[in-house]
Chains A and B, each alone.
Chain A
Amino acid sequence: ETGVTQSPTHLIKTRGQQVTLRCSSQSGHNTVSWYQQALGQGPQFIFQYYREEENGRGNFPPRFSGLQFPNYSSELNVNALELDDSALYLCASSSRAGRSTDTQYFGPGTRLTVL
């Protein structure tokens, strides 16, 4: 069974640029959630995708957007990068959307640095 994978592992961008982060969900999982983890903080929920549609969103501005593909992989796009966007971005997959009891399995994350 293949776990959740994310690419790239590290990324450096400058303020104002755009970035795309990628995630492959665990085999058999159809739901992907994205989280932002700032240094020294717990992860914060950005949004969730289920069957290629956004299925819920946390308190993040519209410049954070995403996609989910038919194979359930996902992308997180961030436009107009700000210094505060520097963080570890975590992707998590689960088997059924909207069920809060389902375990979310996390990938290793992408470390984004905005200069």
Chain B
Amino acid sequence: AQSVTQLGSHVSVSEGALVLLRCNYSSSVPPYLFWYVQYPNQGLQLLLKYTTGATLVKGINGFEAEFKKSETSFHLTKPSAHMSDAAEYFCAVSGGSGGGADGLTFGKGTHLIIQP
């Protein structure tokens, strides 16, 4: 069974500061990893995903994440926070059974607060 742990239900940073949102996963097979963002009263939007290849993945809005197999981590970073980054962020994993459908397994989310 797969699982995702997001450390910190709330993270607060100042505008212009580094954003670091932590995600650790467990999976019995090579995982495919995703970060989604959810703004209030909206659905989820994909920020970036890792499938194979380069372990540093760049996404939209200046976000990036690095897959570290030895640490089973996929932390999300952004060098300089902007007020518009305030939202809920979800890390997700798929690829469990290797065949047929498997939905995404999400973490509980991290609420990012940007202080002016």
Q: Please report A residues at the B interface, Cβ cutoff 8 Å.
A: 4, 31, 33, 35, 40-48, 50, 55-56, 58, 90, 92, 97-98, 100-101, 103-109
Q: Is B60 an interface residue (CB 8 A)?
A: no
Q: Please report B residues at the A interface, Cβ cutoff 8 Å.
A: 4, 32, 34, 36, 41-46, 49, 51, 90, 92, 94-96, 99-109
Q: How far is the CB of A82 from chain B (nearest CB, A)?
A: 22
Q: How far is the CB of B67 from chain A (nearest CB, A)?
A: 13
CA A45 to CA B108, docked complex, whole Å? 13
Q: Which of B34, B41, B49, B104 has the most CB of A within 10 A?
A: B104
Q: How far is the CB of B8 from chain A (nearest CB, A)?
A: 14
CA A108 to CA B42, docked complex, whole Å? 5
The answer to whether B103 touches A45 (Cβ under 8 A) is yes
The residue from A4, A41, A55, A98 contacting B108, defined by CB atoms under 8 A apart: A41
Q: How far is the CB of A65 from chain B (nearest CB, A)?
A: 16
Q: How far is the CB of A101 from chain B (nearest CB, A)?
A: 4
Task: List the A residue with the shortest CB-CB distance to B51.
Answer: A101
CA A5 to CA B91, docked complex, whole Å? 23
Task: List the A residue with the shortest CB-CB distance to B107.
Answer: A42
Q: How far is the CB of B113 from chain A (nearest CB, A)?
A: 15
Q: How far is the CB of B48 from chain A (nearest CB, A)?
A: 10
CA A98 to CA B34, docked complex, whole Å? 16
CA A44 to CA B104, docked complex, whole Å? 8
CA A58 to CA B101, docked complex, whole Å? 10
